Amino acid sequence: MILDTLQNAHLYHGLGPKFVKAFEYLAKTDFNALEKGKYEIDGKNIFAIVNEYDTVDPSGERMEAHRKYIDIQYVVSGAELVGHDLLLQKTPSQPYDEPTDFMLFDEKPAFFTKLDQDQFAVFFPSDLHMPNLRIDEPIPVKKVVIKISVNDIPH
């Protein structure tokens, strides 16, 4: 997992051309002009999901993980907490669903990070994450999640 600000995105270009393209999209797109929805960047290899929501209490949430896609979660406006842990030997409470590339885990996060406006987190398939959590009270957040296919990513 990676936590940083968008101004430092160039430091992660060494992760490959998909990351370069994703970070360029984040830097050059006016997300205030985009509605909620899915936006193609490079077909199924890279796409963005723009979402707006109010942050929630962590007590009703579970950690998630993916196998086919890496998440870059970028906060456009607002702030939220994100719970984290490593997948390691954990067993999903909701088994992996291939069409949605999604599985859930009942374990509590090992730690939490506050993501402010213009900050991003990168979650690899080995990273459990619980996003969208309130800091104190629920507040509105606009966030972009860029999905990067793990196909052709150097190991």
The whole-model pTM stands at 0.95
The pLDDT assigned to 35 comes to 95
The pLDDT assigned to 89 comes to 87
Query: CB under 8 Å to 16, separation ≥6 — which residues?
Result: 152, 153, 154
The pLDDT assigned to 155 comes to 57
- Cα(94)–Cα(73) distance, integer angstroms: 22
Q: Residue 15 is encoded by which pair of tokens?
A: 């992760």
pLDDT along the chain (155 residues), means of 10: 96 96 97 96 97 96 97 98 94 95 95 97 97 97 98 70
From 3.40.50.300, 2.60.120.370, 1.10.357.10, 2.60.40.10, which CATH number describes the 2-149 domain?
2.60.120.370
- Cα(108)–Cα(128) distance, integer angstroms: 10
